[in-house]
Structure 1
Amino acid sequence: MSPLEVVAILLAGVAAGTINTVVGSGTLITFPTLLAFGIPPVTANVSNTIGLVPGSVSGAVGYRRELSGQRSRVLRLGVASLVGGTVGAVLLLVLPAGAFEAIVPVLIVLGLVLVVLQPRISAWVARRHEALGGMPHHGTWWVWPGVLLTGVYGGYFGAAQGVLLMAVMGTGLDEPLQRLNAVKNVLAALVNAVAGLIFALVADVDWWVVLMIGIGSVIGGQLGATVGRRLPGTALRVTIVVVGLVALVAFLLGS
């Protein structure tokens, strides 16, 4: 690996770690970078997934203040993420490369629609549960299976995983977006970790790539926590939508 490749992958890791902590979709920076240097797609995908794990953990630590009082929620939803990430990683290893390509754009669009409509949906859900005596701490019935399915997607590829998680939790949990963003970082870290463990055991991994992305994403995770925490709810929602649209366009152009 040349010095230019090392620097480029390291910087891509910083950018991805920052974006993943604020919104998600950092894979859209690291994955094309790896492909540009001639790394095979599957090797690039699995190496990228493992490399981004430290960045996800870094982002979660940076948001630890917003995680206060959410331990039981994180534990419950974390199970869904672990199961989903495991299934997604296995699917990547056993299914044809194009198996998920048809549904990925649909999922991203659905996530964006849910993010845009989140205030209205959340208000409707809150009114409905208030009439029934209040919204459960763990949210509406669709949150757990929604996180599970998002984990499957994240274990398979991961781009826009954060957008989908914010959409699912934002419409089903009565919490400010910043607190949900903190949970999102933990859940994404779990998905990447379990998928990365599976890939490390059975797939072809470029460990130099993992090291460079890992170092960069840790730095980016702290930067993202600093930036993301300062964004108002509306600005964070707009950022999610913009990143999601970029993810959709990039995926369609690359298909």
Structure 2
Amino acid sequence: MELADAALLLTAGLAAGTVNAVAGGGSLITFPALLAVGLPPVPANVSNSVAVFPGYVAAVAGSRVDLPRGRILAALVPTAVLGAIGGAVLLLVTPARAFELVVPFLVLGATAVLAFQDPLRRLVGHPRDLPPRRRALTVQAMVALGAVYGGYFGAALGVMLVAGLALVLDATLARVSAIKNLLSAVVGLTTVLVFALVGPVNWAAVAVVAPATLVGGYAGARLVRRLPPVVLKTVIVVFGTTIGLHLLHRALT
């Protein structure tokens, strides 16, 4: 790997780690960078999934004080693991074209859910007003869908998780973001294990990108705790809309 390629991947990793912790979508920085240094699309996607994982772990460390106590996280982790395995298997055994056409609409839809969270809550009911069993099943469904998506592609996973969880959890956006970081780390670890065993990982590229995402992830998580909720929500919606439109343009061209 040439020095210029390494510098590009290092910069992309630092930016992606920060973006993932704040809003999600950092893979849209590292994935093109991996393509730019010469990796084919599938190895670039697989290597990207492995490389951004340390950034999720750092984001968890940076937001750990906002994580809820109790059994809620223990109940969600197995769902995230199973969903991520399903998504990773889909990536390895199915053509990517059909999913590429669907992904932009998923991202834009999730962003719209977050942007119009309050009207939607009035329409479907506030989480605190739902029966406990229905609320628990709804949260599990949101996590499962996000994990399948994260195992398959991963870009904007944070946006999708924040949008879904903010709609069905009675919690501050900072707490939802902390849960998002933990679930993203679980999905990331699962895909790392799957792809390390059977995926075409470029370990040289991972060795450059991964440490940078670690630094960026921790810095981004600390930044989230200092942002007012309305600013954080606006940032995530802007990122989500930009990512969705970018993916739509790429899928149609």
Unaligned runs of 5+ in 1: none
Q: Distance in 2 between matches of 1:12 and 1:129?
A: 40
Shift of 1:119: 2.5
Cα 1:127–1:23, aligned 2, differ >3 Å: closer, same or farther?
A: closer
Asked whether 1:7 is paired with 2:7, we answer yes
Residue matched to 2:223? 227
Q: Distance in 2 between matches of 1:91 and 1:149?
A: 13
Q: Distance in 1 between matches of 2:20 and 2:178?
A: 11
The letter for the 2-side match of 1:57 is V
| Segments of 4+ moved more than 6 angstroms | none
Q: Distance in 1 between matches of 2:133 and 2:57?
A: 24
Report if aligned partners of 1:162, 1:188 keep a CA contact under 8 Å in 2.
yes
The letter for the 1-side match of 2:35 is L
Q: TM-score, normalised by structure 1?
A: 0.93
The letter for the 1-side match of 2:19 is I
Shift of 1:214: 0.8
Unaligned runs of 5+ in 2: none
The letter for the 1-side match of 2:119 is R
SS in 2 for 1:175: coil
Shift of 1:122: 3.7
Residue matched to 1:113? 112
Report if aligned partners of 1:122, 1:174 keep a CA contact under 8 Å in 2.
no
Residue matched to 1:242? 238
Report if aligned partners of 1:138, 1:173 keep a CA contact under 8 Å in 2.
no
Residue matched to 2:66? 66
Asked whether 1:91 is paired with 2:87, we answer no
Report if aligned partners of 2:174, 2:225 keep a CA contact under 8 Å in 1.
yes
Q: Over aligned residue pairs, what C-alpha RMSD do you find? A: 1.8
Q: Identity over aligned residues, as a percent?
A: 41
Q: Distance in 2 between matches of 1:128 and 1:91?
A: 32
Aligned ranges 1:122-201 → 2 under 5 Å: 122=121, 129-130=128-129, 136=132, 139=135, 141-201=137-197
Q: Distance in 2 between matches of 1:8 and 1:211?
A: 13
Cα 1:49–1:122, aligned 2, differ >3 Å: closer, same or farther?
A: same
Report if aligned partners of 1:139, 1:174 keep a CA contact under 8 Å in 2.
no
Shift of 1:138: 9.1
SS in 1 for 2:71: helix
Q: TM-score, normalised by structure 2?
A: 0.93
Cα 1:137–1:196, aligned 2, differ >3 Å: closer, same or farther?
A: same
